[in-house]
Amino acid sequence: MTKSARLRLQVPLPDFYTSASPEELAGRIGGARRRLGSRLMILGHHYQRDEVMAWADARGDSFGLSRLAADNREAEWIVFCGVHFMAESADVLTAGHQVVMLPDLNAGCSMADMADLDSVEEAWESLAGVTDIERVVPVTYMNSSAALKAFVGDHGGAVCTSSNARAVLSWALGLGDRAAARGDKVLFFPDQHLGRNTGYQLGYGAADMAVWDPRADLGGLDEATVKGSTLLLWKGHCSVHQRFRPAHVEAFRADHPDGLVLVHPECAHEVVEMADQVGSTDHIIRMVEAAAPGSTIGVATEIHLVNRLAAEHPDRSVVCLDPLVCPCSTMFRIDAPHLAWILDGLVEGEVRNRITVDPATARSARLALERMLAIV
Ligand code: 13P
Ligand code: SF4
């Protein structure tokens, strides 16, 4: 195991939680929430199940939730209903007296696991052998470990999310203000799709971008390609969003010629090119809200969000572009039994599943997160 890929193990829940009825669990969660009052804040990412989202004090995309965590100084306990990297970021951004908890420690993110500190450090060293490393800006997607955010903080880069990748890349490369450029080249990890889609949005072409394969020498590239590329895109992806294919868009358009296609930027570029709108989960929500009653909207993102949008807008037809449905299996791990177990622990005076980032890592990661928050 690499030093950055630590094993996390969720202890099995006591029988009560796994055999309780939804009503019993709701009674338990509601009771604990009342007792804990404003000392508790429950944050819910848009991909969470309804049985969890029903209890969230605030919902959001990964950027919105990181802002909420950074701005809130009241809550003593922050229960993060999302995945591990989000809870880590919340711990980095909250004050020392605030405790962040993740209801199921196994709620990771397969994309975040595609880049670890060892392989990013190796990539950095290889790059330094062929290019002026002082002119390379590392940018990490929020979907990454705190160790990678710290690496980025220490090397002059910033974090980005799906809602601000464009602004962060513009900042890194000084688009609009060349004199303020942080460098001439970006190493972007771990999602090649978000990097590529954003690169195209900024006017770069295929020849300006190359995929960096961490398993191959020099990322599988020759020296000339490294030197000639502005964006080096880590070979990572989201298995949920990569499932959406152009054929899904074609089938939707054939059935609904006037329909609206909304996709998340973790989808492949061929799919993004065919969409009417591309954006973060928050952006997708706003676009559905703005759509005319009676419209049909095909959405390429996680199914819990698509189903919630459909339920909340009965006067519009909101469907998933992939008829085979694509849940995020790690977001799905957070459920009412785990939430009840965490809150019962707090009522009993026990903090369960605390997520902590060690102080040195947190300091550097905070730098990278705060640079992002200052850009947008
Ligand atoms: P958002 O930044 O849109 O919340 O997306 C996070 C995520 O994990 C998408 O797969
Ligand atoms: Fe990670 Fe994809 Fe799940 Fe988002 S949807 S948490 S990127 S695996």
| Pocket of ligand 2 contains residue 146 by CB under 6 Å | no
211: left (phi over 0), alpha (psi -120 to 50) or beta: beta
| Pocket of ligand 2 contains residue 161 by CB under 6 Å | no
The CATH number assigned to the domain with range 241-320 reads 3.40.50.10800
Which atom in ligand 1 lies closest to the alpha carbon of residue 45?
A: 4
In the chain, the percentage of residues whose pLDDT exceeds 90 is 93
pLDDT of the residue at 5? 47
Report the separation in Å between the CA atom of 51 and the middle of ligand 2, taken as the mean of its atom positions.
19
Which atom in ligand 1 lies closest to the alpha carbon of residue 64?
A: 4
pLDDT of the residue at 4? 43
Residues 87, 325: Cα–Cα separation, whole Å = 26
Spell out the domain ranges in the chain.
3-107+330-357, 112-237, 241-320
Judge contact between 200 and 233, C-beta under 8 A: no
Residues 353, 82: Cα–Cα separation, whole Å = 13
The CATH superfamily of 3-107+330-357 is: NadA-like (3.40.50.10800)
Each residue of 180-211: pLDDT tens digit?
999 999 999 999 999 999 999 999 999 999 99
Q: Is the pTM of this model over 0.85?
A: yes
Report the separation in Å between the CA atom of 225 and the middle of ligand 1, taken as the mean of its atom positions.
30
CA-nearest residue for atom 7, ligand 2, is 238
Each residue of 251-275: pLDDT tens digit?
999 999 999 999 999 999 999 999 9
pLDDT at 3 over 60: no
Which atom in ligand 1 lies closest to the alpha carbon of residue 284?
A: 3
| Pocket of ligand 2 contains residue 75 by CB under 6 Å | no
Number of other residues whose CB lies within 10 A of the CB of residue 243? 17
Residues 283, 61: Cα–Cα separation, whole Å = 9
Each residue of 28-76: pLDDT tens digit?
999 999 999 999 999 999 999 999 999 999 999 988 998 898 898 999 9
Please report which confidence band the pLDDT of residue 296 belongs to, taking 50, 70 and 90 as the band edges.
Answer: very high
Residue among 123, 58, 89, 46 nearest 286 (CA):
46
Please report which confidence band the pLDDT of residue 240 belongs to, taking 50, 70 and 90 as the band edges.
Answer: very high
Q: Looking at the CA of 163, which ligand is closest? A: 1
Q: Looking at the CA of 45, which ligand is closest? A: 1
Residues 79, 129: Cα–Cα separation, whole Å = 44
Each residue of 65-105: pLDDT tens digit?
988 988 989 999 999 999 999 999 999 999 999 999 999 99
Which atom in ligand 2 lies closest to the alpha carbon of residue 191?
A: 7
* Section 154-179 average pLDDT: 95
Instruction: Please tell me if the domain spanning 3-107+330-357 has the same topology as the one spanning 112-237.
Output: yes
pLDDT at 2 over 50: no
Report the separation in Å between the CA atom of 313 and the middle of ligand 2, taken as the mean of its atom positions.
25
pLDDT of the residue at 323? 87
Each residue of 328-346: pLDDT tens digit?
999 999 999 999 999 999 9
The CATH number assigned to the domain with range 112-237 reads 3.40.50.10800
pLDDT at 7 over 70: no
pLDDT at 21 over 90: yes
Q: Taking the CA of residue 194 as centre, how many other CA atoms within 13 Å lie in the half-sphere pointing to its CB? A: 31
* Section 128-147 average pLDDT: 98
